[in-house]
Structure 1
Amino acid sequence: MNPKPKKQKYPIELLVNNQRYDREVEATELLLDVLRHKIGLTGAKPGCLNGDCGACTVMVDKRPIKSCLMLAIEAKEKVITTIEGLHHKPIQEAFVTHFAFQCGYCTPGFIMNCQALLEDDPNPSDDKIKSWLSSNICRCTGYAEIEKAIKSVIHPD
């Protein structure tokens, strides 16, 4: 019986939360897995692993990306921001203030998606907010609180 062949590893440098990480990855390794298991950033959550739920959302070059759909080698020379890289952003406080979470599993993905929206458009329309929120799924709570959180950042009282 032939032994299983070793998978080839490739050295890459990732820029995550303004810090450089040199890692070896397999060609088929997902960004989500590298972030969680090789860098130790566990904020992006594995959910559906097919891009539907958004629990694994991170920002890559300021765009929301589902890290379960991106290979780690595709992230080379890109700027990656995870929930751990957001430091006291208004959207984080707004999620707490407006109770925009329940169990919390999907919350990092929603916050990353909302932060990307606000960076893309500091004053998005209601339709644009709904459209962006449709890329993430929460099974515990309604989306009204999340919309309130975003709107409180756009139009602080």
Structure 2
Amino acid sequence: MNKRLIQLGIILVIVGAVYYGNKMLNAYWGKEAVGQYAFAIYDLDRAKALAAEQGKLVLADYSAIWCPSCRKLSTQVFAQDSIAGSINANFIYARLDYDSEEGKQFAADHELIGFPRVLVLNPTGEKLVEMPLTFEAPEYLQNLEQVTTRYLP
């Protein structure tokens, strides 16, 4: 019986180490991906204030730093120059991390389950539209242009 408990303990330690190691590695890769952005990243309150001052919309990205799909959105869409140009011209970007209190509150306020989820907000924080999830930069750019045509003068 003791031998089985020891074996079970070893297995649990190995599984835990693999799980947390994987999460830490994905978090590292996620931070590297976000570091490629050619636009500023703000918390939600600051993004709303800047959007009001500059006559822009808020692009609120609800994601997790360790999430592979979020990283894919970061590298294949947000890190692209065409996307950065549109964001810089028309939006203030806010990143709300799933693991943060701000992210948890944002998810609760907007009834979000899962990520990545990108919402377009007006400067008061009212949701205007949720961006369709695509990892194709040209398609994402087209979606951003549709939003700016509809909601900006």
User: TM-score surpassing 0.5?
Assistant: no
Query: Which structure dedicates a bigger proportion of its chain to helix?
Result: 2
Higher RCO structure, 1 or 2 (CA under 8 Å, sep 6+) = 2
Using structure 2 for the length normalisation, give the TM-score.
Answer: 0.29
Using structure 1 for the length normalisation, give the TM-score.
Answer: 0.28
